[in-house]
Amino acid sequence: MGLPESCAARYPHEFSGGQRQRIAVARAIILEPELLVLDEPTSALDRSVQKQLVTLLRELQARRQLSYLFISHDLAVVRAMAHRVMVLKDGEVVEQGPCLEVLAAPQHSYTKALIKAAHLQDLPA
């Protein structure tokens, strides 16, 4: 999980937010699930720590053949993680499909507004 062995003797409050997220992922994958539900796993992390966690999740996915149900409001993280995307508005699916296609050419006005608000068009792919 990218944590040194010296962490084993620490108390939970001694870990950073990113380290706590890694520990949460470790606790979940120790049971060897086929599917993990990740609800806003990067929301309280700065961009550099988000990138580290996304890299870790992608490596675990490839190594363990995991599927993720990844719930997030951060479209940059969604773009980095998702193969397929489903956009919800008021609990209803308004758009779905391959992630890069939906984000590159959104059809629904709500999806377009989300992308504009997130300045996703300004970020590198």
Domain residue extents for the chain:
9-71, 78-125
The pTM assigned to this predicted structure is 0.77
Q: What is the residue-level pLDDT of the chain in tens, covering all 125 positions? A: 777 777 777 887 888 777 888 888 888 889 999 999 999 988 888 888 888 889 989 999 999 999 999 999 889 899 999 999 999 999 999 999 999 999 999 999 999 999 988 876 555 45
Q: Tell me the C-alpha distance between 125 and 16, whole Å.
A: 28
What is the crossing angle of helices 17-29 and 47-64, to 10°? 10
Q: Tell me the C-alpha distance between 95 and 108, whole Å.
A: 7
Dihedral sign, Cα of residue 20, residue 25, residue 124, residue 44: negative
Provide CB contacts within 8 A for 62, sequence distance 6+: none
The candidate with the shortest Cα–Cα distance to 12, out of 4, 3, 1, 23, is 23
Beta pairing class for 84-89 and 67-71 = unpaired
